[in-house]
Structure 1
């Protein structure tokens, strides 16, 4: 059996290795105000580079998405100002699946900005 290449972790610490596209969509659909985020992490990056994508559900049910593919210069975030019911899922699911399966074009779905650790810590306020 080969080692996992992708791991998904939710807010309560449950993990899934090498999920299918359908599993990713179900995990995304399960986000709620008690389980606000998913972290997708590549486990097969060279030299231990950070490579992950996070989705976070805000109080108003809009979302923030963050990704990093390498060093600090490759760390970006974007806001999705729509809840899932109002079309946010039509934006987030292609980004989630595109990143996970290394598909072309997923970056073009959102207006990414460089993540600045000094200004932005969207995940920290919800961690114990």
Structure 2
């Protein structure tokens, strides 16, 4: 005879009822089905994918603009400094495009902003 038989209550644990020896864990809720009619949460700003695409588009436009400005500057005066300043700015735009493609959008934004400001300052201060 077991101890539950000996106490005389005749109580038997119902199936699914945890015994005193088993640890109690909360049940895991089932995932809710995704309905197309369910309202979406309001988002402030862009999604990460939209931010990456926007950053790639902006860097591409800046890259093409720098190429046109470089061609115009070289037509008016040929200088290694002109090629250096605008060439480095174009390389920076390519780096920003790659960073954005790999999910480093904030870093790309900071690099693009500071790099373009440095290129404009170098153009204004260094180039004759």
On whether the aligned pair clears a TM of 0.5, the verdict is no
TM (normalized to structure 2)? Answer: 0.27
Structure 1 or 2: more helix by fraction:
2
Flag the structure with more relative contact order, 1 or 2, with Cα contacts below 8 A and sequence separation at least 6. 2
The structure that has the greater radius of gyration is: 2
TM-score scaled by length of structure 1 = 0.27
